[in-house]
């Protein structure tokens, strides 16, 4: 791997790490699991990058897709081993979690998780927090752009029926 390629990957890492971590945190709802998912995401991405399988254009949707696959792999593995699901809440929270949890948008998405199915919540997150296109969201979720629009429409309809969730 050329030094320029490594430097470019490092620059991409610095530019995207926080967003990948936040996405992993929303999927896992646990700081340590999110850190593990983000680390594994970048390990897999770096491996693909050095093998010449880097994405053309914006790297963020590619990284979010990798992160989603890491979470799915971990959940499958945990089911096979009979461990607690990744979304189990830790009884010990560190103070650095508080700043992330206090951010208004993250609190709102935490509330959404109570009334929306996971895929609808995830589609809303990718659209309104990460500002991704239907095509990018579809690649991450494994659905067509029309399927993304349907997920978003159903999620917004549910929220319109439950306006108390929007305040």
Residue 85 has pLDDT above 60, yes or no: no
Residue 87 has pLDDT above 90, yes or no: no
Name the CATH code of domain 1-89 (choices 3.30.1490, 1.20.120, 1.10.287, 1.10.1740).
1.10.1740
Q: Mean pLDDT check: name the lowest of 31-40, 62-71, 102-111, 118-127.
A: 102-111
Return the structure tokens found at 130: 């990460």
Highest CATH level, class, for 103-167:
mainly alpha
Q: What is the pTM of this model?
A: 0.64
How many CB atoms neighbour CB 83 within 10 A? 12
Half-sphere exposure of 67 (CA within 13 A, CB side): 29
Which tens digit of pLDDT belongs to each residue from 10-60? Answer: 999 999 999 999 999 988 888 899 999 999 999 999 999 988 888 888 999
Q: What are the structural domain ranges in the chain? A: 1-89, 103-167
| Same fold? 1-89, 103-167 | no
Residue 93 has pLDDT above 50, yes or no: no
Among 17, 91, 89, 100, smallest CA distance to 60 is for 17
């Amino acid at each position: 791997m050329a030094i320029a390629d490594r430097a470019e990957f490092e620059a991409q890492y610095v530019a995207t790490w926080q967003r990948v971590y936040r996405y992993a945190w929303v999927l896992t709802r646990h700081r340590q699991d999110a850190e593990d998912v983000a680390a594994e995401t970048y390990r897999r991405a770096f491996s693909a990058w050095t093998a010449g399988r880097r994405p053309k254009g914006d790297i963020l949707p590619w990284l979010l897709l990798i992160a989603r696959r890491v979470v799915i792999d971990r959940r499958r593995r945990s089911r096979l081993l009979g461990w607690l699901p990744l979304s189990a809440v830790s009884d010990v929270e560190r103070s650095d979690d508080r700043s992330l949890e206090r951010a208004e948008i993250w609190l709102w998405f935490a509330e959404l998780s109570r009334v929306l199915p996971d895929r609808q919540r995830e589609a809303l997150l990718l659209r309104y927090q990460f500002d991704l296109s239907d095509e990018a969201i579809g690649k991450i979720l494994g659905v067509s752009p029309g399927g993304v629009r349907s997920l978003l429409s159903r999620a917004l309809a549910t929220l319109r029926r439950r306006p108390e969730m929007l305040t």
